[in-house]
Chain A
Amino acid sequence: MNYVVLLFCCMFLLFSNAQDDLKSAIGAGDFSLGIRSTTSFFDNTNSGLPGIGTGGDFRIRLSDRVNTDWFADYIMSTTNYLKRNDFHIGWSVMFYPFNYSNRGFKPYVLAGHCFDYSQFIDLKNFNHSDDRWSSAIQGGLGTHYYFTDRFDMIFQAQYMMHLGTHLESEVVNSEIQFTTEKGALSEGHLLLTLGFNYKIGKLWEQD
């Protein structure tokens, strides 16, 4: 958590002071491509370090108020007993309630869906593992910071809830056991994302 906050502060300070590059607002049809890193905090994971993730995304903007984000992330975390790999591929709709121009901060709310692959691996025996596919829904808050009319940074927090079966781990006599649990919305995690996107062009012209 501290690393993410520190990194965000550093990035904001270092990339700021670029207002002179801002030009006219951009809008519907914008296509941008970017990189991102996501830190994952699980509800029910044994004590360990927050997961670190890497990924990419592209955005297609539908209107001044609505944007869409299409992403893929790979997140890894370790505890004293297991290594956890999570792969997310999905989409979110971003809604801008306040600020329609691309200047400085531009907060948004987001909601979306993703497909999720999770893999648990026993650190004492890598042949002992379990995995599952499921889907999830996510929602949260975030903000852009526009350095130029084409280049922006985002920082967002979202909560992701799994809809299908999910894996759980339990330590019994110093041995870890994996079980598959059913129940929609019974597992979730907090995701903090830092990302940078560059607008490549327009897919269609705004009227």
Chain B
Amino acid sequence: MGARLILLFICISTFLKAQDVSNGERKGLIKATGSLYKSNMLNGSISHFYLGGNAEYFFSHKYSFRGDIYLLIGEKNNAGYSMKNTSMLSAGFNRNFSKGKWCPTIGFYTGVTNLHMVSLLQTFAPDFNHPTVQLIPHIGISAGVQYYFYTYFHFFAEARYVHQLNPFQPTLLDEISYTGGLGFQIPLLK
């Protein structure tokens, strides 16, 4: 299956006459990235590490649709609770300010967080009885920049702000995450 997918990508890449992404042409571009995200929660000295990825389709030179998925793989905190195994799924639109090989981007997204919170209530009230897994909505904005150095690859850096409620008390679980790395793209337009 994996080999067939790779073959498919190679075929698409080979037979399509690529648009010139170095000239700022983005319409029809499909791109995907995967990387590690470090995040800081705004109300507390808590750091999270996510394994995340996204896929994006440019329906015009300026605008694109993007879907993201994240899995929390590590954390560093003194708050007395753990959010390990938390995952996020979101979708949104980006505004792209393409200029040559550079592409600064901002975006809006919304989605759900599958929150696994452990030991929170033991910290505040040991007798509480509750499930620790909660599906909570979130919204957010993102900002970043890409550098398209080759037809099929680009470098990127971005920051994301997530706004969400704590399902166990009236507080926020807002966090800012940031990452960078190498991304892959397929220009679909001739």
B-binding residues in A (CB < 8 A): 3, 7, 10-11, 14-15, 18, 21, 35-37, 47-49, 51-55, 74-80, 83, 123-127, 147-148, 150-151, 194, 196, 198
B167-A18 in contact (CB<8A): no
Contact segment of B2-10, B77-85, B91-99, B149-157: B91-99
The answer to whether A53 and B137 touch (CB under 8 A), given A3-B163, A37-B110, A126-B130, is: yes
Which of A49, A52, A79, A127 neighbours the largest number of chain B CB atoms within 10 Å of its CB? A52
- B19 on interface, CB distance cutoff 8 Å: no
Q: How far is the CA of A127 from the CA of B171 in the complex (A)?
A: 22
The 9 closest A-B pairs by CB, nearest first: A126-B130, A54-B137, A37-B110, A48-B170, A54-B110, A37-B139, A14-B106, A196-B93, A15-B95
Give the dominant DSSP class at A's interface. strand
Cβ contacts under 8 Å, B63 to chain A: 15, 18, 147-148, 151
Binding site secondary structure of chain B: strand
B179 within 8 A of A: no
Interface residues of B (CB under 8 A from A): 59-60, 62-63, 65, 91-93, 95, 106, 108-112, 125, 128-131, 135-139, 141, 163-172
Select which of A18, A48, A74, A126 is within 8 A of B131 by beta carbon: A126
Contacts of A18 in B (CB 8 A): 62-63
How many A-B residue pairs lie within 8 Å, measured between CB atoms?
98
